[in-house]
Amino acid sequence: MRDGYRRAARRCRVLSERIDIPTPYVLVDEKEIETLFTDDVFDGWDSFYKKYSDSTGFISLSNVGFAPDLKRAVLYISRECGGKCGTGDFVLLEKDGALWKVHRTVNVWVS
């Protein structure tokens, strides 16, 4: 599965605004986030919250890497909410019929 994750990480995929979740969200290009945080991280957060005033931060998702049998997958999710506020996790998924379910979450950093 590690090789599948590495292959997926080399390709960039763009999400569409078709994610069905109960929380309102806005998809933002990585370049826009980088532009907001070019100088100082704390100034970047001020700029971010001025532009996205209803936000509680942003979530970044990696591409999904699949095991050869296509029944297991892994992705990386980070949530950032301030200079010393955030978390990063690897999420291991398993296919159960037609649905993907979280099998395990491995936290790799928290601030």
Model confidence band, residue 39 (pLDDT cutoffs 50, 70, 90): confident
The residues facing 80 across adjacent strands are 58, 86
Q: Please state, as a whole number, how many other Cβ atoms lie within 10 Å of the Cβ of residue 36.
A: 20
- Split into its structural domains, the chain has a count of 1
Question: In which domain, by residue range, is 73 found?
Answer: 2-110
For residue 14, what pLDDT is reported?
72
CA distance 75 to 89: 8
Q: Is 104 a residue whose pLDDT tops 70?
A: yes
Q: pLDDT: is 21 or 45 the higher one?
A: 45
Tell me: pLDDT of 18 over 70: yes
State the Cα–Cα distance between residues 4 and 73, nearest whole angstrom. Answer: 8
The predicted-structure confidence for 79-95, as pLDDT tens digits, reads as follows 999 989 999 999 999 99
